[in-house]
Amino acid sequence: MMGDELERPAPAQDVWARRDAFVAARDIYVTAMLGGTAQGVGDGRSAYRRDRSLFVQYTNPEILACYGTQAGGEHAGLILAQALDATRLALLLTERHLLIPASYIFEIPWYRIFLGCLEPLMHAGAIRYISPVPDLTDYREMKVHEYRRDPLNPYHHAELPRTCVDPDFMWAPRHGRATAAGIGDLWRDALQPGGDLHGIVRETAHRWRRPYGRAERLLERTPERLDGQAFIARFVERTLPTRPTPAERTALAFFLSRAYLRSYLLDMDAAVLVDLPTGDLTCGLTGMDGRLLSARRLDTVLHWLRTREFVHRTAHWDELLRLRSLPEFGLIVEHAYDERSNHTLRTSAMRARRSSGFRPAGTYAEARSNVLAVADAMTDRRPKEENP
């Protein structure tokens, strides 16, 4: 662990428990207000779904490294602060859970602090960890083998943070194939002409001074040659017959992180927060059926609602859970990620902001009032005293 060089952010107050009834309430509201069809949901206009969990990739050390940031060391304090801030946005984009791969708990030195700050969300059932087995001690033993040739094996003698043995920190079993198997399939395709890694095959053959076909066959066997090790860039590089160039190392790291993300998002039917201050954090992943959600876009909407400072600076976790549970808030965010109805949201916010009671929110009550005002403007349900 990192010791005391990081100052732990002030803990949030206990979370006010919410049940899943708000999901049904939102659906009823949206259907009633929009004539039986929720715009941007199920009508081919937007693939964003609030019933998808959010995958916390913004703390992944391999993905962060692709963007020139180290999860530990000199960048640790900054990345921790940004991760907590990103979690506030991620929480607002789903009506389900935030999903955290169990590997982060062991591989990231400051994760004990991060999870401690999110402990109220654990008690509310808003966070779950992903692993192939429910027992994190068993999981650690599995990973010791995967990192057995790593001199800095993060799983050796690692202790579980106290928060990880909390019964409220629930397990999310991963469906589908293991990460390495899924990446292996994509790896072989990427080596083919026109694939993302075809250039590495060609240049490896040139430096190795061997026929192209021999280099291709060797690289195709990389998943087997890893012999159960984690399918990450630094382990893959050791299996190559020649040292890759800096550009090839970058291409390799981006490909593996992109394949990792794709595998998790499809297996868990999850979405991910992208376009963050640290970087895009997609590693070039595109499409994905509405699973790539821009943090910048949500921030823009919060600015329109005059709730941005409240969300990022003063709101407690329980208040963010209450805010996201508002049917009106769900309606607004669905419009935000629907290109065809985003203009409606913008003009509705402009109309609401002309109201004398619409001011920058400093409390949950004020944030709720602003959300309701914009939702009213969107559905033309203005108070009677404003009607001619």
CA distances from 208 to 107, 235, 240, 247 (A): 34, 19, 10, 17
**Helix H or strand E encompassing 101:** strand 98-101
pLDDT at 270: 96
- With H, G, I as helix, E, B as strand and everything else as coil, classify residue 246: helix
Residues 229/148, Cβ–Cβ less than 8 Å: yes
- Measured in whole angstroms, the distance separating CA 228 from the mean position of its chain's CA atoms is 26
Q: What percent of the chain has pLDDT over 70?
A: 85
Computed over its alpha carbons, how large is the radius of gyration of the chain?
Answer: 23
Residues 271/282, Cβ–Cβ less than 8 Å: no
Res. 375: pLDDT tops 70: yes
How many other C-beta atoms lie within 10 A of the C-beta of residue 182?
Answer: 19
pLDDT band, residue 260 (cuts 50/70/90): very high
Query: For residues 95, 296, 359 and 13, what is the CA-based torsion angle, rounded to 10 degrees?
Result: 50
Residues 176/183, Cβ–Cβ less than 8 Å: no
DSSP state of 249: H
Res. 54: pLDDT tops 60: yes
Query: Which range is least confidently modeled, 4-13, 198-207, 236-245?
Result: 4-13
One-letter amino acid for residue 384 of the chain: K
pTM for this predicted structure = 0.83
Q: Beta 270-274 vs 292-294: how paired, if at all?
A: parallel
What mean pLDDT comes out for the span 119-145?
Answer: 94
